Amino acid sequence: MARQDDTPAPRAIQELADVVAQFRTAMLVNANDDGRMRARPMTIANRDADAPRPAAPGGQAPQRVSFVTRRSNELVDDLRADPSVCITLQDGAKYACLAGRARLDQDRERLRALWNPAFDLWFRGGPDDPETVLIDCDIDFAEYWDGSGLEGVRLLAEMGRAKLEGDQVDSRRLGRHGEVDPSRAAAT
Instruction: Say what the pLDDT of residue 178 is.
Output: 79
CATH number for domain 9-187, candidates 1.10.1040.10, 2.30.110.10, 3.40.50.1820, 3.30.950.10: 2.30.110.10
CA-based nearest residue to 40, from 32, 28, 31: 28
User: Which residues make beta-bridge pairs with 110?
Assistant: none
pLDDT at 161 over 80: yes
Predicted confidence (pLDDT) per residue in 101-133, tens digit: 999 999 999 999 999 899 999 999 999 999 999
Residue count of the chain, please give it. 188
Residue ranges with strand state E in the chain: 25-31, 37-43, 64-70, 84-91, 94-105, 132-146, 176-180
Q: What angle do CA 158, 163, 169 make, to 5 degrees?
A: 45
pTM (predicted TM-score)? 0.79
pLDDT category at 84 given cuts 50, 70, 90 is: very high
pLDDT at 6 over 80: no
Per cent of the chain over pLDDT 90 is: 43
Q: Which sequence spans correspond to the domains of the chain?
A: 9-187
Distance in angstroms between the alpha carbons of the first and the last residue of the chain: 10
